[in-house]
Amino acid sequence: MSSQPYKWIGTRPNRPDGADKVTGRARFGADFNMPGQLIGKVLRSPHAHAVIRSIDTSAAEALPGVKAVVTAKDFPEQPNVIVPTGEMQVNLRDVTRNIMAREKALYEGHAVAAVAATTEAIAREALSLIRVEYEVLPHVIDVEEAMRDDAPVLHDHLRTEGVKPEPQKASNIAKRMENIKGDVAAGFKQAEIVIERSFTTQPVHQGYIEPHATLASAAEDGQVQIWSTTQGHFQVRGFCSRLLNIETSQIRVTPSEIGGGFGGKTVVYLEPVAVRLSQKTGKPVKMVMSREEVFRASGPAPGGSVKVKIGARRDGRIVAAECTIALQAGAFPGSPIGPACWTSFACYDIDNIQVIGYDVVSNRPKVAAYRAPGAPISAWGVESALDILAQELGMDPIDLRLKNAAKKGTKTSYGPTFDTIGFVETLEAAKNSAHYKSPVKPGYTRGVAAGFWFNVGADSSAAAHVAEDGTVTVISGNPDIGGSRASLALMAAEELGVDYEKVRPVIADTSSIGFNFVTGGSRVTFATGLAVVNAVKDMIRELKGRAAKTWGVDPEAVVWENGMARPAGSNVGEFDPLSLAQLAASAGKTGGPINGHAQLNVQGAGPGFGVHVVDLAVDRDTGIVTIDRYTAAQDVGTAIHPSYVEGQLQGGVVQGIGWALNEEYIYNSKGKLDNPGFLDYRMPVASDLPMIETILVEVANPSHPYGVRGVGEVPIVPPLATVGNAIARATGVRMTDLPMSPPKLSAALDAATPRMAAE
Amino acid sequence: MNNIQYVAPQSIDEAVAAMAAANGTGRVLAGGTDLLIQMRAGVVSPGIIVDVKKIVEMTTIDETSGGYRIGAAVSGAVIGEHARLKKAWPGVVEAINLIGSKQIQGRASAGGNLCNASPAADSVPALVAAGAIVTVQGPKGRRDVPVEKIHAGPGRTTLQPGEIVVSFTLPARPAGSSDAYLRLIPRTEMDIAVVGCGVSLTIQNGTCTAARVGLGAVAPTVLLVEDAAKALAGSRLDDKALEAAAAACRAACKPINDKRGTIAYRTKIAGVLLKRAAGIAAERAGRK
Ligand SMILES: Cc1cc2nc3c(=O)[nH]c(=O)nc-3n(C[C@H](O)[C@H](O)[C@H](O)COP(=O)(O)OP(=O)(O)OC[C@H]3O[C@@H](n4cnc5c(N)ncnc54)[C@H](O)[C@@H]3O)c2cc1C
């Protein structure tokens, strides 16, 4: 635990938004309403791939109660430019086509038109009156199939970027990338043992409980207000501004409370459509997706394939590593192939690395970020291969990783050299854990894997205000998706030396605080936390100035300690300390309101590492896996509010276990999603899992005043291989395709043991 | 959505009359855990909803000379709290109690489970194994039907227009009898059976003297597997008999490949569950 003598940091007070959330008072996306609002609904393509020949909206428009119908014609064409959103890059030309199909419908569920009507029933009926003439085309879903020469091509203009000479033919491979360190061919020559395997994963969804929802109101004078459930209201504003040619400052976006996002709410689907419908009708327009729409048309994570080759010496030292990763981007280019490649071997100090990545389009919804985008897929391959290596060498899997662990000074394959990181400490914490030291119960087996994520900094703004009674408001601009309000308030209380209860953190709309990048990349507690700390510092500077003025001394002669201004030394003079309340009471006489501000582009996000251990049992007859015990160790920098750090670890693990065992998009032969609901899209339920144990390894990030590292994404990286490694050790069968669902595992076990099949 | 009428009659006669008056647009509402969801999804749009939860005969459990009569609309939670029924028919009760979650149990009924006619309905294989008799009332009066005759295919029953399932009767049976139900789902709850298997048997002096086997989710309807029962009856439930019964279950399967399981998997699991369920039923029956 941290040796810093903090008063507030590291404590576990109730979260400021907690009471509202447990009493139902909190307002989520669908809870916003305005007088006279219309209900907007989207017509979606029933085909996975089809040319849109024509759309006839006349019958729908004639239906009483229908106020407007929009199609792609209502949205201006966009240039071929890439803009960052969260951890993913998007192309405006593609975004406008994703929110409303133009030339083609590119996946089942692709929006082709939308209506606004006085009631939901009328809106639905209107959808059924829109006539769309489609020319159905052959489609492709699977990433390997989409890469084949004879695959149906989604975009005639798409040429593979990153290959020379520049290709002449259209392809579904949007991009080829590589990152290379050292010389792999030479490295493999030194190898005494080489492991080479291929792994695949199926597409999965973030599975946030709250469907996308928005309310938009465009006034006659051109001002637009939007309420939305989003991880980035500044991004909603930016997208609506670009996609609808509205000046940015004319748009004011207020984020609702958010029922999960995990990266999937860093992009827009409904907001530009609702604004356009509101502009056309002059009325507020509310749009809420059904669960089915969420599955069919919103940000899934890619499926992919990973080929791994690892060469090592008999003592376990890895001398060369190679991997080739292909990820489904969905209907438009832009899978998280970059992070998938860069993270693949980031845990390890290896001299010779070659990673090749392919970004591949296919007839699925355009992927959105999902916790550590791309990293779980490459880690599934790499960490499984390492487990095979450990087995073949007869080495403890943690010892193998310790032998090759990245440390301060290790140069990554993608460029940067690590500063202070905590992978070794995390491996040791896992090795010394009560779980790892306990004997494995009869009938159970143990698996281990590791994972890495960079974490992100980027743009944040914050403000702090002292109220008339000396209490404090801290204002920032990131939707609170995992307890960030509590963490920001704790840091502000620590910095200011006042009670946590005296600090009220609020999340401002886009017009009430400066720009903030999305809640994503595990950045809020780190980057926005830094902005808050700096805003408080700015406010303290002001407070010291007011004390100096009161005492008639230089501001430099005042120090701020434990929430009070004091003379810096006895030579300054004999003055009683001035409390925040006293300074607030006299503010009118010393210069007016006391506020602080900060804005920065935050660098120096500290990367994080996780090491996970599972004990599980496999029912050989049924292929059902039962998880008995699971421990996640992670270097978390400083755990500002340990409960919410633990919650992040536990949530990531649970999602990772779902990805490993049961979650998958199931497409039928026509490319239609067959399981667009939580019944057949099987995320774990509470009774499936034990309490996930956590070990917080606090290796402070040197680039943050309180040592904060992002913590929210790392924990979803190791579970896929952790579970797979345990299953392999339990059964002798190495699963290489996710999910390891009962039918699949059972078939693999039967194939390996003819006894069962012969029955 | 058009206007929907709702009635909650006090007697079966009134309910049957309301259904008859509706001319085919009526729908019985018990717990509503299937019906309301199907209405929201737009799969069904009834003109009139006939709520049967106010009808005493349909919402009570009676003991009848060693057997039991269970109202078709009794909720799973109420059935689970009936200690004597649970002791006599642990398999039937555990099957009904497996439906959904705590919240669903407060509403869901065995009658709804049967009439919704899902091949994967959890209570039905157990009721089939139990030899339950269904009492049905309609415009033409009352009739008794073996439960396995109700399903006609996915979502379809042999009930005549306007007929309502009133109750289930579980027969009296000799000492040394018990039953068990097992289902396979990929998760631990809130899921639909990939395969469900109910076994009811009587054991006397270590020999199985009578057996019935019901199988769910492996064919368009829940199956009564007579060959499996024959393999068990007369045996001492030794490995050979169990394997023969498992083979009969596998042979009875006519499953489909779908998002919940493959043909091969369902077929294999039918055998696995038969053996396990028979083992549990035998333990409960007091096998020494
Ligand atoms: C979250 C959830 C989980 C579920 N889990 C399971 C599960 O694990 N296993 C399972 O088998 N099912 C499950 N179900 C489905 C459902 O709960 C069951 O089928 C339940 O038994 C239905 O009973 P009910 O009383 O709610 O039926 P209702 O919805 O009231 O009725 C179902 C159908 O039967 C008709 N009907 C009802 N009663 C009669 C009657 N007496 N006579 C004639 N027709 C009648 C209705 O008109 C309707 O068509 C689940 C449902 C939900 C929502």
Q: Are strands A353-361 and A564-567 parallel, antiparallel or unpaired?
A: unpaired
Instruction: Kindly state the tokens that stand for A333.
Output: 């280019």
* Diameter over CA atoms, chain B: 63
- Crossing angle of helices B90-97 and B263-284, in 10° steps, is 130
Let me know how long chain A is.
759
Q: Region A83-107: what's the mean pLDDT?
A: 88
Is pLDDT of A210 > 70?
Answer: yes
Reported as a single tens digit per residue, the pLDDT across A700-719 is 999 999 999 999 999 999 99
**Per-residue pLDDT at A84 exceeds 80:** no
Q: Is the CB–ligand 1 distance for residue B104 below 6 Å?
A: yes
pLDDT classification of A333: cutoffs 50, 70, 90: very high
Question: In angstroms, how far apart are the furthest CA atoms of chain A?
Answer: 95
A78 is written with which tokens?
Answer: 């966009």
The b/e string for B212-225 (b: 16+ C-beta within 10 A; e otherwise) is bbbbbbbbbbbbbb
Q: What are phi and psi of A445, to 5 degrees?
A: -135, 160
Domains assigned to chain A? 18-24+457-602 (3.30.365.10), 32-137+210-259+265-297 (3.90.1170.50), 300-455+606-754 (3.30.365.10)
Model pLDDT, residue A755:
56
pLDDT digits (tens, 9 = 90+) for A275-323: 999 999 999 999 999 999 999 999 899 999 999 999 999 999 999 999 9
**pLDDT bucket at A754, cuts 50 / 70 / 90:** low
The token pair at A135 is 């020319």
> For chain A, what percent of residues have pLDDT higher than 70?
98
**pLDDT in the model for residue A299:** 86
Predicted local distance difference test score (pLDDT) of residue A759? 42
Q: Is the pLDDT of residue A340 over 90?
A: yes
Above 50 in pLDDT, residue B1?
Answer: no
**Adjacency order of strands within the sheet including A224-228:** A66-70, A111-117, A38-44, A285-288, A213-218, A224-228, A251-255
Hey, what are A70's tokens?
């929009």
The per-residue pLDDT for A181 is: 97
Domain-by-domain residue ranges, chain B?
5-51, 56-170, 177-284
Angle between helices A742-752 and A719-731 (to 10 degrees): 30
Ligand 1 mean position to B28 CA, how many Å?
11
Angle between helices B263-284 and B239-252 (to 10 degrees): 140
Q: How far apart are CA A596 and CA A544, in angstroms?
A: 12
**Ligand 1 neighbourhood includes B108 CB (under 6 angstroms):** yes
* Phi, psi of A521, deg, nearest 5: 65, 20
* Pairwise CA distance, residues A650 & A633, whole Å: 11
Mean residue pLDDT of chain B comes to 96
Reading phi first (left if > 0) and then psi (alpha if -120 to 50, else beta), residue A435 is in alpha
pLDDT, averaged across chain A = 96
- Residue A185's Cβ-count burial label (10 Å; 0-12, 13-18, 19+) is exposed
pLDDT score for A243: 95
Is the pLDDT at A738 greater than 80, yes or no?
yes
Q: Give the class (CATH, top level) of B5-51.
A: alpha beta
Both structure tokens of A427: 């491996």
Contacts of B190 in chain A (CB under 8 A): 679, 685
Helix (H, G, I), strand (E, B) or coil at A689: coil
CATH label, B56-170, candidates 3.30.465.10, 3.30.70.360, 3.10.450.50, 1.10.10.10: 3.30.465.10
What CATH fold (topology level) applies to the domain B177-284? Enolase-like; domain 1 (3.30.390)
pLDDT for A758: 43
Catalytic, out of A210, A257, A542, A713: A713
Specify the pLDDT at position A1: 42
CA B213 / ligand 1 centre spacing (Å): 23
Nearest CA, atom 49, ligand 1: B116
pLDDT digit string, tens, across residues A507-517: 999 999 999 99
Mean pLDDT of A660-689: 95
- pTM: predicted TM-score of the whole model, two decimal places: 0.95
d(C-alpha B169, C-alpha A497), whole Å = 73
Q: Is the CB of B75 under 6 A from ligand 1?
A: no
Range with the poorest average pLDDT among A3-17, A230-244, A331-345? A3-17
Q: Count the helix, strand and coil residues of chain B and give each as a percent rounded to the nearest 5.
A: 35, 25, 40
User: Count of CB atoms within 10 A of residue B82's CB?
Assistant: 17
In whole angstroms, what is the distance from residue A423 CA to residue A421 CA?
A: 6
Q: Choose the weakest-confidence range: A74-88, A446-460, B181-195, B273-287.
A: A74-88
Query: Which residues, at least 6 apart from B222, have a Cβ–Cβ distance to it below 8 Å?
Result: B119, B121, B124, B125, B128, B148, B151, B196, B214, B215, B216
Q: Which of B242, B259, B269 to mutate to test the interface with A (most CBs of A within 10 A)?
A: B259
Extract the tokens encoding A337. 């192939």
Cβ–Cβ of A682/B271 closer than 8 Å? no
Q: Which chain A residue shows the shortest CA-CA distance from B191?
A: A679
Give the per-residue pLDDT at B225.
98
d(CA A671, CA A203): 13
**Tell me: the pLDDT tens digits for A32-54?**
999 999 999 999 999 999 999 99
Q: How far apart are CA B163 and CA A453, in angstroms?
A: 62
The answer on pLDDT for A178 being more than 80 is yes
**Is residue A713 among the annotated active site residues?**
yes
Instruction: Please write the tens of the pLDDT for every residue from A527-581.
Output: 999 999 999 999 999 999 999 999 999 999 999 999 999 999 989 889 999 999 9
Q: Is ligand 1 within 6 A of the CB of residue B169?
A: no
- A688 interaction partners in chain B (CB closer than 8 Å): 187-188
Counting beta carbons within 10 angstroms of the beta carbon of residue B154, is it exposed (0 to 12), middle (13 to 18) or buried (19 or more)?
A: middle
- Give dist(CA B260, CA A357) in Å, integer: 33
* Dist CA A348 CA A411 (whole Å): 10
Distance CA A237, CA A229 (A): 13
| Structure tokens given for A354 | 């070659």
| 8 Å CB contact between B208 and B281 | no
User: What's the average model confidence in pLDDT over A451-478?
Assistant: 96
Instruction: Give yes or no for residue B273 having a pLDDT over 80.
Output: yes
- Disruptive mutation site among A293, A295, A624 for chain B (greatest number of B CBs within 10 Å): A624
A754: CB partners within 8 A, 6+ apart: none
Which residues have C-beta within 8 Å of that of residue A120, sequence separation ≥ 6?
A39, A41
Residue carrying structure tokens 């009359």: B17
Counting residues of chain A whose pLDDT is more than 90, the rounded percentage is 96
Beta pairing class for A104-105 and A693-697: unpaired
pLDDT at A2: 46
Mutate to test the interface with A, among B3, B242, B269, B274 (most CBs of A within 10 A): B269
- Distance (Å, whole) CA A685 – CA A627: 13
pLDDT digits (tens, 9 = 90+) for B205-215: 999 999 999 99
Chain A residues in contact with chain B using a Cβ-Cβ cutoff of 8 Å: 121, 621-624, 661-662, 666, 674-675, 679-680, 682, 684-685, 687-688, 741-743, 746-747, 750, 756, 759
User: What is the distance of C-alpha A678 from the center of its chain?
Assistant: 20
| Apex B65 CA angle, B63 and B68, nearest 5 | 35
Q: Could you tell me how far CA B130 lies from the centroid of its own chain? A: 9
User: What average pLDDT does range A7-33 have in this prediction?
Assistant: 97
For ligand 1, atom 43, the nearest C-alpha belongs to: B164
Residue B242 and residue B271: Cα distance in Å, rounded? 9
Task: For strands A445-453 and A608-619, give the pairing.
Answer: antiparallel
Atom 4 of ligand 1: nearest residue by CA position? B100
The distance of B138 to chain A (nearest Cα, Å) reads 34
Q: Quick one: average pLDDT of B35-43?
A: 91
Task: Give the model confidence (pLDDT) of A370-415 as tens digits.
Answer: 999 999 999 999 999 999 999 999 999 999 999 999 999 999 999 9
> Are B187 and A674 a contacting pair at CB < 8 A?
no
Assign B103 a pLDDT band (cuts: 50, 70, 90). very high
